Amino acid sequence: MGTVTVELRNVAGTEAALGWAGNHTVIIDRPEGKAGGMGLGFNGAQMLALALGGCFCNDLRYVAQDLGVSIRSLTVSVTVRLEGEPLLTTNATMSVACELIDGTDPRLLIEKAKESCMVSNSLRKGIPVLIEAA
């Protein structure tokens, strides 16, 4: 995959944004009462945590398929730490509980997913971000 583009537009009658990629949509907003937010959707920190966890969940499935194992249950919890002014994410912690159908230890699966997870690897290495007026 070479590039991915998402689009965002304001939601009429609110100060929230509707984001989409293909047929998938998400609402992004601030907490109710904060800078016009109505609490209609996820905030930026939540979106970042969801990107980290969601990408890792997908990579666990890809690696499981490659290894020929099946996941019975999966629980991923992501916590991002926010500090400073302007507010920055200073670290992220992901907890992964995974049970395989055959009862084997899932640590190899988790380690291999760590190696291939695009979002966590990109954040760890740092990426340039260009923001320009259209």
- Encoded tokens for 29: 């907003």
Contacts of 21 (CB under 8 A, 6+ apart): 4, 5, 6, 7
Question: For 43-127, CATH number?
Answer: 3.30.300.20
Asked whether 56 and 63 are in contact (CB, 8 A), the reply is: no
> What is the predicted pLDDT for the residue at 43?
95
Q: What is the DSSP letter of 73?
A: E
* Cα(60)–Cα(70) distance, integer angstroms: 10
pLDDT along the chain (134 residues), means of 10: 92 96 96 92 96 98 97 98 95 97 97 97 94 94
> What is the predicted pLDDT for the residue at 17?
97
Structural domain boundaries in the chain: 1-42, 43-127
3-state class of 103 per DSSP? coil
> What is the predicted pLDDT for the residue at 1?
64
Whole-model pTM: value is 0.92
* Cα(16)–Cα(117) distance, integer angstroms: 29
Picking from 91, 15, 100, the residue whose alpha carbon sits closest to that of residue 49 is 91
Q: In what order do the strands lie in the sheet with 24-28?
A: 7-10, 17-21, 24-28
